[in-house]
């Protein structure tokens, strides 16, 4: 079994080797336990379906059982959706890119997010495992219900759809070519985070909070911008 020392040397990521060339083929083994290892691989459609169904059920219950008017549910939904974009930014910046100051922290950091920077084309690791998705959705419902009361039905629905949208965007920018429309901005923004400035451009579904917290990519020569912006895989 790989020692922490060997692991530490192998995954000098995001700090001393921020601009190292990622691998665009293969899928690394994260756990010796075959069950845990299998749980780290997820088809993108599974969490999208799970969160879509839960959000639909929440909205239905809020309208039919709790008596919310449609405009009220829409307002709560939009609020939850907007709040998710903030959580997405905070999680990506401060949790996924937490400084790995010890071998244990570095192993956790690598398992949680660093592996994605090393293998950005690994489609099976672009979404949260279904079991973990259900657990998180349940915990969020309990927390938001305690804070928001019945407003949770519209708010959490928007939050979960926000997360589903994030997953869809994140999968798309790694799996498909850059579209020739307004959405190409998302491809360019995320490619800069992966291939040029991993300490910036943390927003995936939107660069809004990068603008607000001043973590937008630094300006660079046009030739470099053109190369990085051509594709999520500039190789």
Q: How far apart are CA 206 and CA 171, in angstroms?
A: 14
Q: How confident is the model at residue 72 (pLDDT cuts 50, 70, 90)?
A: very high
Quick check: 44 pLDDT over 80? Answer: yes
Predicted confidence (pLDDT) per residue in 148-207, tens digit: 999 999 999 999 999 999 999 999 998 899 999 989 999 999 989 988 898 999 999 999
Rounded to the nearest integer, the mean pLDDT of the chain is: 83
101: CB partners within 8 A, 6+ apart: none
Quick check: 67 pLDDT over 90? Answer: yes
Contacts 24+ apart (CB under 8 A), 215-220: 215/93, 217/189, 217/192, 220/196
85 and 206 in contact (C-beta within 8 Å)? Answer: yes
Domains in the chain: boundaries: 43-229
Predicted confidence (pLDDT) per residue in 98-138, tens digit: 887 788 777 777 777 778 777 887 888 888 788 888 888 89
Tell me what pLDDT residue 69 has: 96
Residue 187 is encoded by which pair of tokens? 């491809």
Q: How far apart are CA 219 and CA 223, in angstroms?
A: 11
**Burial bucket for residue 141 (CB in 10 Å: 0-12, 13-18, 19+):** middle
Q: What's the half-sphere exposure (Cβ side, CA atoms, 13 Å) at 82?
A: 6
């Amino acid at each position: 079994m790989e020692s922490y020392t060997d692991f530490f040397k192998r995954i000098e990521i995001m700090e001393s080797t921020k601009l190292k060339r990622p691998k665009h083929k293969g899928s690394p083994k994260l756990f010796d336990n075959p069950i845990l290892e299998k749980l780290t691989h997820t088809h993108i459609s599974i969490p999208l379906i799970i969160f879509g169904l839960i959000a639909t059920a929440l909205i239905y219950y809020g309208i039919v059982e709790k008596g919310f008017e449609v405009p009220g549910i829409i307002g709560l939904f939009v609020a939850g959706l907007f709040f998710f974009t903030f959580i997405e930014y905070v999680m990506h910046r401060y949790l996924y890119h937490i400084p790995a100051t010890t071998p244990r922290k570095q192993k956790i950091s690598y398992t949680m997010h660093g592996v994605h920077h090393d293998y950005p084309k690994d489609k099976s690791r672009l979404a949260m495992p279904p079991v973990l998705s259900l657990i998180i959705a349940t915990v969020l419902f309990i927390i938001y219900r305690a804070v928001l009361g019945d407003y949770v039905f519209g708010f959490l629905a928007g939050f979960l759809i926000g997360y589903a949208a994030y997953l869809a965007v994140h999968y798309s920018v790694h799996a498909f070519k850059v579209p020739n429309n307004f959405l190409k901005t998302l491809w360019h923004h995320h490619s800069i985070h992966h291939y040029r400035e991993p300490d910036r451009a943390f927003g995936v579904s939107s660069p809004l909070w990068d603008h607000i917290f001043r973590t937008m990519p630094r300006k660079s020569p046009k030739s470099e911008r053109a190369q990085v912006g051509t594709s999520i895989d500039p190789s």
